[in-house]
Structure 1
């Protein structure tokens, strides 16, 4: 990771250095070229006005040469040197591209390498103006070394190199710090994943981080807690089923042993066989619950357009005798016709589960226990509410009631309660509701009762 970051940083600063140094050199050369063109034009104008005074012209050429830190040659129209600020080229012919271009009335410049050093040469024409024509009398050639610019560019590159090295060092330090700040919580998270995968469910990462890493740790802790909760519910469910299976098996074994003595009358045989049959039915019911639990996620729907009011009426008729037998009054209020796409039998099964729970968990200390069913249609949805005044559910248990294997009575009065059940009823209800893309919510106050609201999208 550090190598990748280093390559990225070095590449970025290298590109930046190339662009900056190239732009710097171009600007400096352009500025130098403009300055020398101005000098060459001044020299050309001065020469044209004072060409008869050779002493003044030579003095002027040397003075401008020193000021411009350059060598100045003045040539006639035959390319012969008339004035040289260094005096060594006087009388010699100089023929190059810049001079030829100037004598053709086109100022020109060029960069050459002499003895390993760059030299800027430029030339401008010396033009004499008359009433009828413009005549080219010669050219001014200026040669200037670019050594100062090359040295400045070298210094700039060295500075950029130092800045890049410093920036790389600082960036690597911050990268190491950032990598450590990320690696530490990730290492803790990896260790936590290994613990959970080895069976240590409920393990939580104690690191408190911010940002996306913090959210990841928070999600992991939540997942680990839910896995532990599911495992506890599973164990409780298995223990409950094991205990329930053991009872009828023990009863059947005792009855068979009694019959095997052979001293019983025919009436006793029939009575015992009926008892054995009842216990066998009970075991069959337990097996059915187990199968329902195993296939909970495999519920498939037979979707048709149905009237929810009719489904509620069917559930009401089925639950009413059972409710009255247990001293619970069931009332249907505010039912309106609501047509929607659903699986009639599955929805009825969910309603019967909810109603059965309301009857099952009635409050034995209240004189009157009742259940109210209502269905209200709004613009884009309908709300089906089942409300009772039973025992209610403690707030800390509300978040778990839809988990398979969880029974409120397990945490309250399981040892003394005769209430039957295996903790998958509400899990089945939730699964059926969610398969329809509906929503279910529970609201309850311990000692006051519970309310289940099913929100149905229309």
Structure 2
């Protein structure tokens, strides 16, 4: 692929060629329209002034001498002759009379109109312009005034100053080319760095960054690349961490299931130990199933942030149904759930996903509550939102862990979490589901006193 610098150089050269061609055409135009035209008009003017001295009748020797005397003051060569055929004896070059004054030219002279001729003369090795002014009397051509002037070549019009100017232009063009080359190198340097950085990223080196040395478009492009590279690196690290965590989470239950199933198959354990092993296999299988379902739910919620079906629903009923589904867990933990719900609140939501939010949060409250404690659930309206507050009297969460508890697989107590059955995905799913409902999730906690979860969902607008 052709380099960008080569394309720019090609464009500059193209512009220079166009400029040279234009200047050449423009110079020829000026030569024809200014120099040649001006010479022609000056010669006609001189000829007509000399013609005004002619009083009619035969052209006298005195008139011829006066015309020839004008040569002493004019840059043009001027002759007056009675018969045009006599011109051959006056001018230093051959004249074809029939070509010079043909029938058409003769009619034009009889009308008193001058004739202009331009042709190449080998004698002068250049173009010669000539003007014939008629001397007429009563429709008779008594003679002519003949003016001629060898035209200078375009190159001869260039004096020393012009040559110096052209030399200066050449030197300036060389200097310009040098500085353009340096300038292109300076401009292309960050683009080349970007190209190398992109190649490194395509090879998997996501730590690649480029220097931002300007605030122009290239500088902004470099900043955008660095931001993109940082985002890709972060995503890659998150993916690796996620896969490593998933592998770690599945490795333990799989090893349990494999180990105990082989022990049972080979009759290494019997009686009560066998029953305990079967229960452990069942429990670990349930854990893997729940982990798989939560992973699918998390992936689905991240993929379809704006694609959930919502409809008007009474939110208090969904909260009650969620609490009923967790009655066995709360009874087993001897935890009482106290409800204070406003039954008039209606939201635009998806009942299944809203129920999943409440089940995850309430189940966490039950799991980490102390025995014979209280969970308080309040539903109220505030600022156009349905506000759900779920407060427990459990073990609480350290302040340092609060900013990270909604991240996938984050555990506050790494030692207890697996025993308690948590996968570390529940609150991450809750955060995404609340976001899908255009709501907000706020979690606060005091270690040893309990956790306070606040969920806000926009109320349905009144028609």
Normalising by structure 1, what TM-score?
0.68
SS of the aligned residue for 1:68 comes to coil
Q: Aligned ranges for residues 298-337 of structure 1 at < 5 Å?
A: 308-310=311-313, 316=319, 319-321=322-324
What is the rounded CA distance, in whole Å, between the counterparts of 2:247 and 2:340 in structure 1?
Answer: 34
The structural deviation recorded for 1:281 is 1.5
Matches within 5 A, 1:398-409: 406-407=407-408, 409=410
1:108–1:278 distance in 2 versus 1, CA, 3 Å:
same
Of residues 21, 30, 37 in structure 2, which corresponds to 1:30?
Answer: 37
- Within 5 Å, give how 1:408-423 maps onto structure 2: 409=410, 420-422=423-425
Contact map agreement 1:443 1:451 (CA 8 A) in 2: yes
Q: Secondary structure at the match of 1:106?
A: coil
Assess, with a 3 A threshold, how the Cα gap between structure 1 residues 421 and 70 changes in structure 2: closer, same or farther.
same
Match of 2:178 in 1: 173
Question: Residue 97 of structure 1: CA displacement?
Answer: 3.9
Measure, in 1, the Cα distance between the counterparts of 2:81 and 2:438: 102
Partners of 2:423 and 2:251 in 1: CA distance: 15
- Name structure 2 gaps, 5 residues minimum: 1-5, 392-396, 446-451
Name the counterpart of 1:17.
Answer: 23
Q: CA deviation at 1:369?
A: 6.9
Q: Which residue of the partner structure matches residue 436 of structure 1?
A: none
Which residue, out of 65, 68, 76, partners 2:74? 68
Shift of residue 4 of structure 1?
Answer: 1.6
Alpha-carbon distance in structure 1 between the residues aligned to 2:38 and 2:385: 85
SS, match of residue 423 in structure 2: coil
Map 1:101-120 → 2, pairs under 5 A: 101-115=108-122, 116-120=125-129
Q: Which residue is equivalent to 1:425?
A: 429
Aligned partner (choices 59, 70, 73) of residue 66 of structure 2? 59
Distance of aligned partners of 1:52 and 1:239 in 2 relative to their CA distance in 1, 3 Å threshold: closer
Summarize the Cα distance change of 1:283–1:88 in structure 2 as closer, same or farther, 3 Å threshold.
closer
In the TM superposition, 1:197-236 aligns within 5 A as 197-236=202-241
Aligned to 2:147: 142
Q: SS at the partner of 2:73?
A: helix
* Alignment RMSD (CA, Å): 5.1
Does structure 1 conserve the Cα–Cα contact (< 8 Å) formed by 2:56 and 2:136?
no
- Structure 2 Cα separation of the partners of residues 236 and 328 of structure 1: 39
Residue in structure 2 matching 1:42, options 43, 49, 56: 49
Q: What are the superposed Cα offsets for residues 404-440 of structure 1, whole Å, 9 maximum, x if unpaired?
A: xx43946x7666666533386379659x95xxxxx96
Mapped partners of 2:444, 2:144: distance in 1: 109
Q: Deviations over 1:75-108 (max 9, x none)?
A: 34x53559x9x9669xx99551496343343322
Is the Cα contact below 8 Å between 1:255 and 1:272 reproduced in 2?
A: yes
Change (3 A) 1:440 1:57: farther
- Residue 66 of structure 1: CA displacement? 3.6
Deviates more, 1:306-315 or 1:15-24: 306-315
Output the CA distance in 1 between the equivalents of 2:117 and 2:380. 98
Deviation of 1:121 (Å): 0.9
Offset at residue 204 of structure 1 (A): 1.5
Q: CA deviation at 1:364?
A: 8.4
Mapping 1:93-108, distance limit 5 Å: 96-97=100-101, 100=106, 101-108=108-115
Asked if 1:79 is matched to 2:84, the reply is: yes
Contact 2:58 2:142 in 1 (8 A): no
For residue 45 of structure 1, report the CA deviation from its aligned partner: 0.4
Q: Is the 8 A contact 2:431 2:441 kept in 1?
A: no
TM-aligned CA deviation for residue 318 of structure 1: 5.1
Q: How many corresponding residue pairs?
A: 417
Shift of 1:313: 7.3
In 2: Cα distance, 1:455 partner to 1:161 partner:
81
